[in-house]
Amino acid sequence: MSEPPNPKPRLVICVGDIHGFITKLNNLWSNLERSIERSEFETATVIFLGDYCDRGPDTRLVIDFLVALPSRYPRQKHVFLSGNHDLAFAAFLHLLPPPPDGSPFSDGWKEYSASEEREGWFSGEGFENMHLQGRRWSGKIKERFNTVKGTEYQGSIYDAGPTFESYGVPHGSADLVKAVPDEHKKFLTDLVWVHEEDDVFINTEDGSKCCKLIAVHAGLQKKVDVKEQLKLLKARDTRVPKVEALSGRKTVWDIPEELTTSPTIIVSGHHAKLHIEGLRLIIDEGGGFKDKPVAAIILPSQKIIRDTDVLAE
């Protein structure tokens, strides 16, 4: 008797930063459907890597699309990570869990208070016990030009103006709290800060590898105990005024050394770069900018799909 063939490894799709561009999201989703065999697509695990809001004009429509996915594709598994922009949006709407030690959110302002005037932190209705990032997100930055990105700020340091406008209120208005529908608030409330998957296959130069996968918006810090990081992220510990795993750059670029002893994929968005090096996958080609694509990676093949791909019917 010959042995039955090994079942195909399950498909995992990781989608990079969308940043309020519904046309890009629709095009990317269509391209994914066309690129993947139907039964595999309909049972795939789809991990969205965060940053659904800001910069682009259609945050409300993007969240409508994401909220509808479980009913449109009931056999898929959907994971929605929080990005730093989503955390800040949720903070403004007072949706974040309170600090576990009972301290007020205002304790987190102190470390960054030197930036308050320049960034024009929000000080309107409800600011008194708002997480730092909510105040920064809805603030009004005085400088108009972002010299690092070479673009004009759209309202705040987070470019949150278009998000307010997509819900029909002006940037920085406390009326946004009433304008955001309850199902969007639930979506933002339920976002996870980290997600782990076991037994994810990835095709490498050395053949197919079975790995653990950790998905987190920016990455894990190299010089901080990984178990401790994961514990804080799973608990969504809001004592921290700036969550490095969601906001960091150089500190979270590489895989922490302690995770290199057993094969672990770390997948992130955030960095406005497509970077694939071994098991470190960064899937964000700058989708928050009008002329840059939104990208996704399919595992195990490591095939990259973009909203700009022109695929044969």
Spot the catalytic one: 19, 78, 85, 195: 85
Q: Do residues 192 and 82 lie in contact, with contact meaning Cβ atoms separated by under 8 Å?
A: yes
93 phi and psi, to 5 degrees?
-85, 5
42 and 11 Cβ atoms separated by less than 8 Å: no
List Cβ<8 Å contacts ≥24 apart for 176-179.
176/92, 176/93, 176/138, 177/92, 177/93, 177/94, 177/126
Alpha helices in 77-138 (DSSP H): 84-92, 116-119, 132-137
Query: What is the distance between the alpha carbons of residues 174 and 92, in angstroms, rounded to a whole number?
Result: 9
Burial (CB < 10 A; 0-12, 13-18, 19+), residue 200, is: buried
Q: Report the DSSP pairing between strands 151-152 and 207-215.
A: unpaired
Q: What is the rounded CA–CA span in Å between residue 125 and residue 181?
A: 19
How far is residue 225's CA from residue 238's CA, in Å, rounded to a whole number? 19
**Token pair for residue 97?**
């869990």
Residue 164 one-letter amino acid:
F
- Whole-angstrom CA distances from 192 to 87, 109, 215 are 10, 23, 10
131 catalytic residue (yes or no): no
Catalytic residue positions, numbered: 85
